[in-house]
Amino acid sequence: MTSATDAPSDGERRNVSDAAGVVVLGACAVWSLITAAAHDGRPEGVLLAVLAVAAGYAAGRICGALMPVAAPCTAAVAGLGLAVAAPHALPGPRIATPVGHLGAVAALLALATGAACCAAWTARSRSLRLALRALAASVTVASAILGSVAGFALCAGVLLCSLAAGHMPRRGVGLAGLALTAALLTGTAWAVAEKALPDGLSDSLEGQLTGNRVQLWRDALTMAHRDPAAGVGPGRFSELSETAALSLPAEARPHSAPLQQAAEQGVVGVLLLAAVFCWVLYTLWRTPRSTAVALTAGAALTALAALATVGNVLSFTTVTVGAGLLAGLATARPLGYETPDAATPRAREQRERR
C-alpha cells in the first residue's frame, strides 16, 4: 500500500492534469467561437465534440472509481453493440474505407477492445481476467465479421499492445512511442496533401486513400494557406471547397481532423487538437492505475487518432463520448482499491522512479 506521504503527491499530480484538461478543452471551445465570429462560421460541431469528450471523461472517472472492472467491461459490450447497430441505425451511405459510418464502426471497435483489455488488467482473479481477454478477442473477431478491415487491424493492434504493456516497466517510453506514431501518421497525411512524397509512394498512398479524399485534403490546405492564423471559420469547408460541392453530402468534409482544423481554424486550431491528444497521454502518464492499463488505453486512443487522421470519425458523437469515457476509466482511482503497480515493493520503487 502506498505511504501517507505519497497520497498528497498523487493528488497534486491529478489536480494538475485535471486543470490542464479544463484549460485545453476550454481553449478549443473559445477558439471555435472566435473563429466563427470572425468568419461567420458554425461552431456547433466543435462545441458538441468538446462537450462529448468532457462528459465522457467525467462519467469515466466516476464509474471507474466505483466499478473499476464492471465499468470498462460494460463499456466494451456497449461499444460492440453500437458498432453492430451503427451501419443500420445511422442515415447515409455505407462506405468501406476509413470514412463514413464504417470508420465510426472501426473507432468504436478499437475503443471497445481497449476497454475490455483495461478491465482484464484491473481484474484480480485469473479466471475473470481470462474471460475479459476473451471478450477483447471476440470484439476483434467481430470487427472482421462486420467487414471493417481498418477495425480488425486496429483491434488486433490494441490487443497486442495490451499484452506487451504487461512487460513494460516504464509507461513513459510506451506513451512517447504512441505520441510519435500519431505524429508520423499526421505528417504522412499532410505530406500526401502537399505532394511532398516521392511519386511512387505518393501514387500508392493515393490509390489506397482514393483520389477524391486526397483532393479534399488539398482543398483544405488551400484554405489553410489563405488564412493560416484563423482559417476560414468552423463548418465552412463544404461551402468553399470545389471538390466538396461535387461530392455526396457524406463526403463533403476533409476526412482528416488535423487538415479540417487547419482549414477552418488555422494553425491555432491544429495546435489545440494536438494539445488535447497530448493532455490525454499526460493524464495516462500520471494516472495511479497500473502501467498496463495506461498503455492499453493509450494504444486504443492512438488507434482512434489514426482513424481521425484519414477520416471523419470525430464527427460522430458516440465516438467522441467513447474516447472521453475510456480516458476517464483509465485515469480513475478506484475507491479502496490497490493498483497492481503498488502491489509489490519492486513495483513501488519503479513507480517512484517514474
pLDDT digit string (tens) for 50-69? 999 999 999 999 999 999 99
Question: Lowest-pLDDT range, 96-105, 233-242, 337-346?
Answer: 337-346
Question: By three-state DSSP, how is residue 282 classified?
Answer: helix
pTM of model > 0.75: yes
Question: By three-state DSSP, how is residue 249 classified?
Answer: helix
Contacts of 250 (CB under 8 A, 6+ apart): 92, 93, 95, 100
CA distances from 318 to 20, 40, 128, 205, 329 (A): 24, 27, 28, 29, 16
Residue 51 placed within a domain: yes
- CA 346/CA 354 separation, integer angstroms: 13
| Number of structural domains the chain divides into | 1
- CA 23/CA 12 separation, integer angstroms: 17
CA end-to-end distance (rounded Å), the chain = 17
Residue 198 placed within a domain: no
- CA 113/CA 157 separation, integer angstroms: 10
- CA 255/CA 270 separation, integer angstroms: 15
pLDDT of residue 339: 47
Question: Lowest-pLDDT range, 101-105, 266-270, 344-348?
Answer: 344-348
How many Cβ atoms from other residues are within 10 Å of residue 130's Cβ? Answer: 12
DSSP string, 153-216: HHHHHHHHHHHHHTT-S-HHHHHHHHHHHHHHHHHHHHHHHHT-S-HHHHHHHHHHH-HHHHHH
Residue 194 · residue 221 · CB < 8 Å: yes
Opening angle at CA 286, ends 19 and 325, nearest 5: 70
Question: Lowest-pLDDT range, 36-45, 73-82, 328-337?
Answer: 328-337
pLDDT of residue 72: 96
Confidence check: pLDDT of 145 > 50: yes
CA 34 to chain centre: 25
Question: By three-state DSSP, how is residue 227 classified?
Answer: coil
Residue 319 · residue 83 · CB < 8 Å: no
Confidence check: pLDDT of 99 > 50: no
pLDDT of residue 14: 66
Question: Lowest-pLDDT range, 88-97, 151-160, 335-344?
Answer: 88-97
Q: Which three cell numbers stand for residue 228?
A: 493560416
Residue 189 placed within a domain: yes
Q: Which domain holds residue 88?
A: 6-193+204-209+273-353
Backbone angles phi, psi at 170, to 5 degrees: -125, 120
Residue 233 · residue 40 · CB < 8 Å: yes
Q: 175-221 pLDDT, tens per residue? A: 999 999 999 999 999 999 888 888 788 788 877 887 888 888 999 99
Nearest partner of 66 among 328, 340, 276, judged by Cα: 328
Q: 215-236 pLDDT, tens per residue? A: 889 999 999 998 898 899 998 8
- CA 61/CA 327 separation, integer angstroms: 8
Residue 252 placed within a domain: no
Question: By three-state DSSP, how is residue 229 classified?
Answer: coil
- CA 287/CA 152 separation, integer angstroms: 28
Q: What percentage of the chain has pLDDT greater than the value 70?
A: 84
Contacts of 331 (CB under 8 A, 6+ apart): 14, 17, 60, 61, 64, 283, 284, 286, 287, 289
pLDDT of residue 347: 46
Residue 134 placed within a domain: yes
Residue 67 placed within a domain: yes
Residue 47 placed within a domain: yes
CA distances from 189 to 154, 186, 241, 265, 315 (A): 18, 5, 18, 18, 19
- CA 205/CA 11 separation, integer angstroms: 46
Residue 126 placed within a domain: yes
